[in-house]
Structure 1
């Protein structure tokens, strides 16, 4: 009995350590373009224009979604490849939960290599799956992250969601 309790305590401690290390991993150097704020604003404006053109409501900015998107963009840039799986193989819902956002609905678009907001939104709108994500009717909020790898390639992460 005592041994089982010790193992549970050890497991809980290891889980807590892993979660705390997420903050350290996020704090690792992440190169963000100097004009990231302008690029992010332009992308959100273009996404909302596309949504309005198709009868969907505009999305409101969410700091929690932006934090989750930025963390994932940094992870992608460090890895040098696109993946919807984050640290420890986590999916979007887990990454949102870690960022403090409880989602009833959530979508994610990724891209790499586009140097402007117009280019990345055009690429997403030109892909049926990405377009469907951007135009999902039930979405209410958006967060956008971008980061550069050592070669200057930009990684984009767009998260759209609706809270619970």
Structure 2
């Protein structure tokens, strides 16, 4: 299989968190098409795991789905920051915890058909408490949940965030192996 040939890219819309581009491509059969692409800043997330095996999730309102969601701590990777450092920072800011051990799980592209948004997924263990340092527009609550309960919450639709589902299943797989 060969990659499509990019003829040109034009900015269509610039927003606060992402930009939309039109990519003009040539297909392998010679036809030309236009794809919309959302360029999004990369992020990192971390699943905090307590010594007893329970996990810490955050609850927050998400305007995109007009609902309160359960999620792992996550956020953008700052300029010059490594994905792991961003995950550690988000853990500290959103939960007050720090992790002695941070394990890389994977990199995921959240909406591969329309966006380049990448998230680096980590698991954090050996947690110690501290003080939250939320951004001014963050209104977050934390909740400690058992792994079996979290798996049930995925199955019954109470956890719908893809990066959170990936992190929980990765931790479950680690425990089962």
Larger strand proportion of the pair: 2
Instruction: Give the TM-score category using the shorter length.
Output: under 0.3
Bigger RCO of structures 1 and 2 (CA < 8 A, at least 6 apart): 1
**TM-score between both structures, scaled by the size of structure 2:** 0.26
Larger helix proportion of the pair: 1
Between Structure 1 and Structure 2, whose CA radius of gyration is higher? 2
**TM-score between both structures, scaled by the size of structure 1:** 0.27
